Each structure stands twice: as structure tokens, then as C-alpha cells.
Amino acid sequence: MLGDVAIAVNPKDKRYKDLKNKTLLLPILNRELKVIYDPMVDMKFGTGALKVTPAHDPADFGLGQKYNLEQINMMNEDATINSIGGDYEGMDRLEAREAIIADLKERGLFVKSEAHRYAVGHCYRCHTMVEPRLSPQWFVKMKPLAEPAIAAVNDGRIKFYPQRWTKVYLDWMNNIRPWCISRQIW
């Protein structure tokens, strides 16, 4: 919650149609949250409203890019909360989660908790839980490297067997994205 900047709902979800062009308040930090409408939000999961934390979740990062949302990095490298976290600064992220739940309950804002299974990344070396967070990354521009490779296929210098792989290759090369070369291995 400490890095939340928006609430996303499905544009077909009638429950949230009155929130168009409004902001909501994140009570633990008094931060305004933008309401965005995106079809990727599953109306049937939970409340059908998704909190968006672009600096700490890969799917939310994509929404942040799409809707030009602020990226608030609220965690230090050692998984403690930084100064963005207000009263939770210095707490380990697991300790902060418990404190936030307690604060929400104390304010009468906690409705209920439901268990559900989800995938959590773990470090392949020490097997600890990985907390996604923004950090500096290095990229190689792939477009200039892809152009001569595309030309070699288009002018017939390179052929694919079977032929159907030509389309797959060209689709991939024509839509290539910058390649992250940072050593961020889970």
C-alpha cells in the first residue's frame, strides 16, 4: 500500500462507473489515488478493484507505463521501508504489513481477509522471497541490431526451413524491445 498510486477497475464493471475522473484517498498516508479503467482487471477477483503499485509489481509497472503513473519506490535494498513509508519507515516489509493491517483495523477500515494462492518469486541461491522494486537497469538498443538481420531474411540471404518460421522470426524481430543486460537473477 505504501507505494500505491492508483486503483484500477474494469471499464465494464458497473459497480465503479461513478468513480470516473475521481480520486480516492489512501488513508494510511493521506495520498490521493487516481482511478483508472483497464480491461485487464478481473471483475470477479476479490472486489474487482486492483491497487496499483508500479514500482513494486511487474503487472502494475505495465499499467503505470500505460497510464503514466508515478513510480514510488518505498523500499530500501534490504527490504526495509524507506522515508516514503511515513510511520512505517525503518520497519522490515513483513513487519510493516502487519502494522498496516493493525492500523487499518484500529481505524475501522479493515473489512476482511481472504486467503488465496499466488506465485511469489524466490531467490535461486538462498530461496528467500524476492520483493520486486525499481532499481537501475542497463539495456541494449536492439532495433539497430535487428534491422540488418531482418534485411538478410527479406532479401533472401537467410532462409528458414520450414518456411513458416520466417513469419515467426520477422514478427519477433520487427517487435523487438530493448534487451535488459542487468544481472537481476532471481
**43-77 pLDDT tens trace:** 999 899 999 999 988 889 999 999 999 999 999 98
Check residue 152 and report its DSSP letter.
H
More confident position, 93 or 116 = 93
* Coil vs helix vs strand at 146: helix
Percentage of the chain with pLDDT > 90?
Answer: 76
| Rounded CA separation 75/60 (Å) | 16
pLDDT of residue 129: 85
- The pLDDT of residue 35 is above 90: yes
pLDDT of residue 119: 80
For residue 162, whether the previous peptide bond is cis, meaning omega lies within 30 degrees of 0, is: yes
Q: Could you read off the pLDDT of 111-159 as tens digits, one per residue?
A: 988 888 878 888 888 888 888 888 888 999 999 999 999 999 999 999 9
- The pLDDT of residue 16 is above 90: yes
Fold of 6-106: Isoleucyl-tRNA Synthetase; domain 2 (3.90.740)
Domain boundaries, the chain: 6-106, 139-180
Q: Which three cell numbers stand for residue 112?
A: 476482511
Residue 166 contacts by C-beta under 8 Å, 6 or more apart in sequence?
153, 159, 160
Q: What is the dihedral of CA 12, 15, 17, 19, to 10 degrees?
A: -130
- The pLDDT of residue 185 is above 60: no
Residue 134 Cα distances to 15, 18, 33, 83, angstroms: 33, 33, 20, 16
Average pLDDT score, the chain: 92
Q: Whole-model pTM?
A: 0.76
Radius of gyration of the chain measured on its C-alpha atoms: 21
Q: What is the dihedral of CA 27, 28, 33, 37, to 10 degrees?
A: -80
pLDDT band at 184 (very low <50, low <70, confident <90, very high): low
Sign, CA dihedral 45-121-70-82, equals positive
Cα 3 to the center of its chain, rounded Å? 11
- The pLDDT of residue 186 is above 70: no
The HSE-up count of residue 176 (CA atoms within 13 Å, CB side) is: 19
